[in-house]
Amino acid sequence: MNPWAFASAASLFATTLLAVFIIARVPRTPSRLPFMLLTAAFAMWDLGEAIVRFAPAASLAALDPWIRLQWVGIALTSGTFLHFALNFARGRALLGPWWRLPIVYAVSAVVAPLVAGTNVVVTGVAEGPLGPVARVGFAYPAAALLYEAWFALAVVVLLRAYLRSRSPEVRRRSRAVVLVLAAAAVSATATEVFWPLYTSAPGNLGLASIYMLAVAIAASASEVRFKFLEIPAVTEPGSARGPSLSPGLAYLFLSRDRDAPFTAFRDLVSRVPGLCLSGVHPSKLQERYGLERTPILWFTSAEGERAVRPRALEFEVLHTVIRFVKENPATVVLVDDVDLLVHTVGFDAVARFLHRLNNLATGRGSTMIAALDPDAILGHQFALLRGLFDEVREVPPPVSFLEPVLPPGPGAVLLEGDPAAAASLYESLASGKRGVLVTTKNPVRLQRQGADTARVVWIGGPGEGSGDDGPAAIDLEAGRLTTRLLRDVARPILFVPDIEQLPLHAPFPRVLEFVKGLIDQTAIQSGVLLASVVPKGMSPMELASLRRRFDRVREL
């Protein structure tokens, strides 16, 4: 029994499983159809190769049809792979002039019939070092050059898309795919396509199934990375009295809180379907603004239904929203927490994201709403964002002195002013072993002051501790340690004093992301987060962005 037959069979089995998984896992992506065609060509290739290797005693005449089936599959990969690469790189189906698809499949359309019905490319069967292979004909060199040109063009298309992408997230996700495809193409060129041309062998070496398995895995990985979320198109019962908005325009709300943009959004979703993107836990938005049915994409690093990472803004998030808008004309999309996205993924990525959505949504009769505090980003960034929208609405600061300091239920409160008063408020609430403390002070100092240090996460830098009792880093284990403590407490009270000191240990964007993560984890556990800050200890921009992460801001 030829052991290489099992390699061909394994490649056939793995490729088939990958194709079924991708088709079931990621329906209706732009590259879905060419990916199905590509895997069908791989299956023909591997099936023919496996059969001839599993039948060593068969006559050459009996193996000839299976060798030709294998090479028809090989011929078809040139067109299907180029089709896949073009759709994947463009992010949309290859439509337009009628001649595009015929050019893409030109080599396959010419070579496949010649392989199946003539002896000009394949003349029969020969014995190779790894099993039976095709004996090549006089037209094989020309066919090999055309095939290799098309295959190389597909790799160039993917490489060009990678190099032209300005999104670090897209480039990071595409890097491994491009490297695998390039390595497989170079290896297959040397041992398969041109092997009969620069050696005395009658056919190829026979390692192609290994290379194609790598290509199939890489193509599948690229499809898996499109984490599309199913977004239902629903409306809310009743209506809300919000600012009147004209449909089909792009609006930018400038506000310290969320009330104005969300009431406008709530009014619109009583008539048309909507989609909300926000960094606030969905349960809070549902309760406060009556968004009982409207789908909410939650910007967070935590796990949850329709939870999306901010760093996936130009990948899963963008394509999910694009698909929702395309499938549901005349809808409304709200992008909240624009300043959070700017600090997390960078201004350029956010501006590109909003620019694309504004053009797409308004072009299909939908309404776009974005919301941010203008003091939370730089002046030139704010000036550029204003120009992306059709109308800018400024909302005066809210008057909140009549509201109590603490929310009636779970929530996050930023206490500005006297740190001692904030600590006293925390101590009055953290009874019954509900308290969790995140601090930049050594717990030994807190013990000497009589504080409870049973559940403390100490944040600091290297060299601050003694022995194994050192501080945790913001960008490493601090968030994980805090999450673990929160999960062990029913309805926890989390206290983060002296937030202005956190930038001593990490850049502000990382601090903001850390605080946002604590707010999210506290909301998941139905707890209360208290944080204190001395406003003069931070820049106005940092303070404005920090304030918007909290449900309430109170002065002490």
Can you give the pLDDT at residue 240? 60
Residue 214's pLDDT band (cuts 50, 70, 90): confident
Instruction: Tell whether the torsion through CA atoms of 421, 425, 431 and 437 is positive or negative.
Output: negative
Domain boundary among 394, 420, 453: 394
Residue 58 lies in a domain: yes
Please, are residues 215 and 306 in contact by the beta-carbon 8 Å criterion? no
Q: How far apart are the C-alpha atoms of 57 and 5, rounded to whole Å?
A: 14
Positive or negative, the Cα torsion across 143, 144, 147, 149?
A: negative
With CA atoms as reference, report the closest residue to 108 among 139, 135, 143.
143
Residue 233 host element (H or E): none
Taking only the tens place, the pLDDT of each residue in 147-192 is 989 988 988 888 887 777 655 656 666 676 677 777 777 787 888 8
User: In terms of Cα–Cα distance, which of 405, 380, 383 is closest to 392?
Assistant: 383
Q: Is residue 230 part of a domain?
A: no
318 plus 180 within the same structural domain: no
The neighbour count for residue 240, using CB atoms within 10 Å, is: 17
Are 300 and 366 contained in the same domain? Answer: yes
Q: What is the CATH number of the domain that holds 501?
A: 3.40.50.300
Q: Cα–chain-centroid distance for residue 387?
A: 27
- Note whether residue 238 is domain-resident: no
Query: Are residues 263 and 373 part of one domain?
Result: yes
Q: According to the model, what pLDDT value does residue 219 have?
A: 59
Helix axes 140-164, 106-117, angle to 10 degrees: 150
Q: What confidence category does residue 341 fall into, taking pLDDT thresholds of 50, 70 and 90?
A: very high
Residue 32 pLDDT greater than 70, yes or no? yes
Domain encompassing residue 337? 250-394
185 within a domain of the structure (yes/no) = yes
Question: pTM above the 0.75 mark?
Answer: no
Q: If 0-12 CB within 10 Å is exposed, 13-18 middle and 19+ buried, where does residue 364 land?
A: middle
